[in-house]
Amino acid sequence: MRAGQLVVATPQLSDPNFARTVVLLLQADEEDGALGLVLNRPTGTAVAEVLPDWQPLAAEPAVVFTGGPVQPNAAICLGHGRLGGTQVGAYSVLEGVPGTSVGTVDLAATPDELVPAVSEVRVFAGYAGWGAGQLEAEVEEGAWWVLDALPADAFSDNPDVLWSSVLRRQGPPIAFAASYPADPTLN
Which ranges of 23-173 would DSSP assign to H, the alpha helix?
47-50, 111-114, 134-140, 162-168
Domain locations along the chain? 5-181
What does pLDDT average to over the chain? 87
Provide the greatest CA pair distance for the chain: 55
DSSP 150-185: -GGGGG-S-GGGHHHHHHHTT-TTGGGGGG--SSGG
Cis amide linkage into residue 61, ω under 30° from 0: yes
**What are the pLDDT digits (tens) for 26-49?**
999 888 999 999 999 999 999 999
**What mean pLDDT comes out for the span 146-172?**
93
DSSP category for residue 54: G
**What are the pLDDT digits (tens) for 50-83?**
999 999 999 999 999 999 999 999 999 998 876 5
**What are the pLDDT digits (tens) for 80-117?**
876 554 444 445 555 544 445 788 888 888 888 777 77
Decide if pLDDT at 152 tops 90: no
CATH code 3.40.1740.10 for 5-181: yes
Contact between residue 36 and residue 23 where contact means Cβ atoms under 8 Å apart? yes
